[in-house]
Amino acid sequence: MSIFRDDVLRGKVALVTGGGSGICKGIALTLASHGAHVAVMGRKLEPLQATVAEVEAAGGQGLAVAGDVRRPEEVEAAVARVVEKFGALDILLNGAAGNFLCPAAQLSPNGFKTVIDIDLAGTFNMSRAAFSHLQARGGSILNISATLHYGGTPMQGHVAAAKAGIDALTKNLAVEWGPLGIRTNAIAPGPIDGTEGMSRLAPGEMRDALIAATPLKRFGRIEEIAWAAVYLCSPAAAYVNGATLVVDGGRWLNNMPLPG
């Protein structure tokens, strides 16, 4: 099902990090279904190729590019490969992320740094490498954030810190790069079905508690995040810059405690 014109992104070129699975794969497929040429980037080539196969089976054009967002030289090479293949870059979706449950007292400095490097530094590395290409055609950056840092989330201090940094970077780039024709926004998903994160981080009773604490009384769907991405990358959001769109069924508004 589509809630937009199928050609709303026709002629646009998108690069999606983390596009081999989960939410970012769903976004990549949805951008392609609305006319965009889509490149997906990640450390492992096989899942990226599977995403591209789905894009091409549906009649779109795709590209799989292996690379680590923590390594600026690999980031630069990936962006160059996309521009070489498609001739331009209009949309950068920063979705590569790391996560695991760990109390702060047991979290190693390396574990904390790893998540910061993937989520926050990776978002900057990609944005910086894409800058000149996005400026050339008035493109947009869309960062995947979270709601963990809106309060205190036990065992997620490393991720919350990284996502808070992404929100701050989103605002700064919106101010600095907006005058150059680049819009920068973010999406903060809530609990989403069909993702590895929810299967690992919210099994059993925790899942039930999250649903009970969500005003819409359900988990979200990957396509609902993807539709938000299409909106923010489309001409419909031409005057939206520096925003973080929360897509979580109202969960972050509810102070109902979860079982500890």
d(CA 53, CA 227): 21
Whether residue 65 contacts residue 13, with contact meaning beta carbons closer than 8 Å, is answered with no
Compute φ and ψ for 189, nearest 5 degrees: -75, 150
**Residue of 145, 171, 199, 217 with catalytic role:** 145
| Sign of the CA dihedral with 53 first, then 54, 58, and 59 last | negative
For residue 181, what are the contacts with CB-CB under 8 A and spacing of at least 6?
134, 135, 138, 139
What would the two tokens of residue 48 be? 């990226």
Q: In what order do the strands lie in the sheet with 62-66?
A: 62-66, 37-42, 13-17, 91-94, 140-144, 183-189, 244-247
Is-catalytic flag, 171?
no
25 is catalytic: no
Catalytic residue, candidates 21, 140, 163, 234: 163
* Residues with catalytic roles: 145, 163
